[in-house]
Structure 1
């Protein structure tokens, strides 16, 4: 029989993978990978501030991730190049968070756990946060699915159809901040973007519809989560990086399978 901490780790990994899947497809479609990096790197600053103010880490991470996301969106809309703003935001947020963490006194902050995840230390409260946050992301994306899809395919067509592309971008930023806060305990701030991007990228070559890609991303995410945990347990490797490595392997297999199927189709 599995130990309780292993059961919690499995539930946490699966919950984080399912939370990231619906957002990951939009991150890939909209080429928002660097945006995900900037938001996730800000999580360390959120952790440091939360501990300094004695508030829940989830709340601090969520607030800071939202502030960085909206700040980047506002600067990008004022004529600054998107890649420049995202590069500055990602590195500045991470560096500021590390500096802020150095001012915390006592052994209150295990920095490595927040950088790379500490899934084996997940508590029942963490599980509630992960699955609750994942359900909120799924509900938000499901509610705005058609509008998000239309504004992703063609902002002009979306506007002509009565959909506000800017509102849908705000919806994605809110969902991204939620995923960052949810996945922090599982894979850490440095690897959250990978959990968003790799499963969706792996599902893309084998998908024929947007809904199929979402389902494929969720499937790949869960497989990577379980495979990474198995590798971590068997090989005594870090759990968060192992999950990302498992996702990368599935991407390689998917890319090869996509090329073979494409070749046969031709």
Structure 2
């Protein structure tokens, strides 16, 4: 089964979907869309550094994504105007990454795969990293679930309960950085935020509790992966964008079901 490139792509997408559902729910609840953009766009700089120093793409991307996530967390703790700051960081990180990658000849020919993903080229080692890293992130979210939900709903209530909101914000930042590093081969740096936000946004009006929303978001993300890969195979369209288009269709369907 793993010798079939389509099955490897499907397994990689499903491994990512299981994590992006719950994590994307927190991104939606906390209105962290720009946070995801800034971390994802910084991944291109990680790709450039990885190729320049001949290290693993995942390692370089994770290092840069973690650095960006920690920087944003520090700025948030200091009370910076985060909407403007995140906008500046997101676009600056992408521009710096594109300039840096232009100096790496090995990356120029394969730039689209890093921007929009190349899930059909995922190998067995990539599968192991995606599922292993995804399991770690999912374990972190399950371990701190109640604390994360409380800190998301009301920081004052969380502090009264002995929960430090800064610690929970840092945990989410680390989880987001890991997911960005895992998703760079699947949907690319420009589409990672969409896979986090769109399924969670679709699930938001269909679930009465945070736990159900996270589960439904994961199911929608998984269905988007399957539908997007099928469309890519039948229409010969790029796989990463096709997955995001499928997620957008599910979002529109969720709006219809909400109205009825």
Classify the TM-score, shorter chain.
over 0.9
Residues 68-217 of structure 1: matches in 2 within 5 Å?
Answer: 68-106=68-106, 110-217=110-217
How far apart are 1:30 and its partner, in Å? 0.4
Q: Matches of 2:73 and 2:106 in 1, distance apart?
A: 36
Q: Matches of 1:138 and 1:255 in 2, distance apart?
A: 28
| 1:46 maps onto 2:36 in alignment | no
Distance 1:208 1:103, change over 3 A: same
Distance 1:240 1:178, change over 3 A: same
How far apart are 1:133 and its partner, in Å? 1.0
Q: Is the 8 A contact 2:48 2:107 kept in 1?
A: no
Q: What is the match of residue 37 of structure 2?
A: 37
Q: Is the 8 A contact 1:19 1:133 kept in 2?
A: no
How far apart are 1:105 and its partner, in Å? 3.0
Deviations 1:138-173 (A, max 9, x none): 000000000000000110000000111100000000
SS of 1:185's partner is coil
Q: Is the 8 A contact 1:101 1:109 kept in 2?
A: no
Q: Is the 8 A contact 2:51 2:107 kept in 1?
A: no
SS of 1:206's partner is coil
| 1:5 maps onto 2:13 in alignment | no
Number of residue pairs the alignment of both structures matches = 260
| 1:23 maps onto 2:19 in alignment | no
How far apart are 1:53 and its partner, in Å? 1.2
Q: Matches of 2:109 and 2:45 in 1, distance apart?
A: 12
How far apart are 1:25 and its partner, in Å? 0.5
Normalised to the residue count of structure 2, the TM-score between the two structures is: 0.97
Q: Matches of 1:249 and 1:226 in 2, distance apart?
A: 13
Deviations 1:211-251 (A, max 9, x none): 11011001100000000000000000000000000000000
Distance 1:236 1:2, change over 3 A: farther
Distance 1:208 1:218, change over 3 A: same
How far apart are 1:69 and its partner, in Å? 1.1
How far apart are 1:77 and its partner, in Å? 3.0
Normalised to the residue count of structure 1, the TM-score between the two structures is: 0.95
SS of 2:255's partner is helix
Q: Which moved more, 1:154-163 or 1:105-114?
A: 105-114
Unaligned runs of 5+ in 2: none
Deviations 1:18-66 (A, max 9, x none): 1211100000000000100000000000011011111111111111011
Q: What is the match of residue 263 of structure 1?
A: none
Q: Matches of 2:75 and 2:213 in 1, distance apart?
A: 31
Q: What is the match of residue 56 of structure 2?
A: 56
Q: What is the match of residue 225 of structure 1?
A: 225
SS of 1:80's partner is coil
